[in-house]
Amino acid sequence: MSRRLILPRISAKPLVKPALPGSKDKVPSVKRVSHRMSKKRTRVGIRPSSKRPNRSKRRLLHQEKRERSLLKPESAESSYKDGYELGKYEGGEILLEMATPQHMLLPEVSLQEVISAGVEMLKPLCYPLMEVQEVFAEMEQAVRLERPCAVIRLGDGELLALSQEKIYDSETVKQEGRFLSYAGVNPPDLHARDQIALAICHAQIVGVPMSRRKNFQPLLHPVLRSHGIDPRRLRLTSSTINYGLHTAGLLTQLLQGKRLLIIGNVAPELAQVLQENGFLVTGIISPVHGFADIERVMAEVRDAVFDLALVSAGIPAVVISYRIAAERGKVAIDFGHMADAIVKGEVKF
């Protein structure tokens, strides 16, 4: 069966250093200019050194310019296209220019073709990822054989939490992850960081981001390395495995015939939708108030009767899912925003 691949630690160096906060590249202050008529001696006599600007004329010209811009609605779209083309050039094409040997011309080969050819050559460096069907089969078998199986997922929130005092200092983490408190982590929280790292080491399946945007895949490899975690020893899949199961038509099959434990802030609403669609919900744990609430949640999990746990509790879902598998020997998946999508009717069975 074919597998998706993830390419580790291959990146381009920035061409221009960004301006740092507090740098001297600031807009110069504008001094107020007096409009009094001062005189200046010249070779041809005495004349005013400046003339009082015609404010009415300037105001009229500004109004006419604004009206012309309103008559051209395509100007905004044109500006967007210009900005897009400039970003595409500076973010990619210029790198190809610099990599092409001098006095040589690379004819009619697009940047996409160059990247594709390069990735093909770098395939031996890639890590294999489990396909959706493999993850589904693993979870099904774990339920049937009553074996532990935790499927956890890493996104920018989890990676930023892991980066605390490893890659970024706490203030930088706060700036980069303003949403973290909503997701269940209040930096600095090194205890939460270490719990997530432990969950990654012991989870049966770990979802990792495919996005190469900042704080996703570019942060993944430095973070794992800083915690001494070798990704080659992990069983990896895409971090969107929760959506992938639905897209592949396997989510309904995964939930059917199993006693479901629903955990998270929208657990009551999700349980209702699932029951209306014929699924068996045998437990609800709600709400979950961040990492400080994990012990209470686990105390309730110990008394629950279930086969499969769906955990939608922000970043703490990583730890809760791992601990359900480790302490109860059950199957649990970090269900994420899939719970909200089902409740809102965006995902239907």
pLDDT tens-digit map of 315-330: 999 999 999 999 999 9
Collapsed DSSP state (helix, strand, coil) of residue 298:
helix
pLDDT tier at 65, thresholds 50, 70, 90: low
Whether 108 shows a pLDDT value over 60: the answer reads yes
pLDDT tier at 57, thresholds 50, 70, 90: low
Whether 67 shows a pLDDT value over 70: the answer reads no
Query: pLDDT at position 17, please?
Result: 44
Buried b (16+ CB within 10 A) or exposed e, 168-202: beeeebbebbeebeebbbebebeebbebbbbbbee
Spatial CB neighbours of 198, under 8 Å, sequence gap ≥ 6: 319, 322
Query: pLDDT at position 77, please?
Result: 80
Q: Which two tokens stand for residue 127?
A: 């890590």
pLDDT tens, residue by residue, 83-100: 988 998 988 999 999 999
Burial class (CB in 10 A: 0-12, 13-18, 19+), 79: exposed
pLDDT higher for 50 or 335? 335
Strand partners, 208: 238
Using CA atoms, how far apart are residues 242 and 222, in angstroms rounded to an integer? 25
pLDDT tens, residue by residue, 146-167: 999 999 999 999 999 999 999 9
pLDDT tier at 22, thresholds 50, 70, 90: very low
pLDDT tier at 340, thresholds 50, 70, 90: very high
| Angle, CA of 194, 198 and 203, to the nearest 5° | 145
pLDDT tens, residue by residue, 190-205: 999 999 999 999 999 9
- Provide the residue type at 205 as one letter: I
Are the CB atoms for 205 and 131 separated by under 8 Å? no
Q: Mean pLDDT, to the nearest integer, of 35-48?
A: 51
Collapsed DSSP state (helix, strand, coil) of residue 342:
helix
Query: pLDDT at position 58, please?
Result: 65
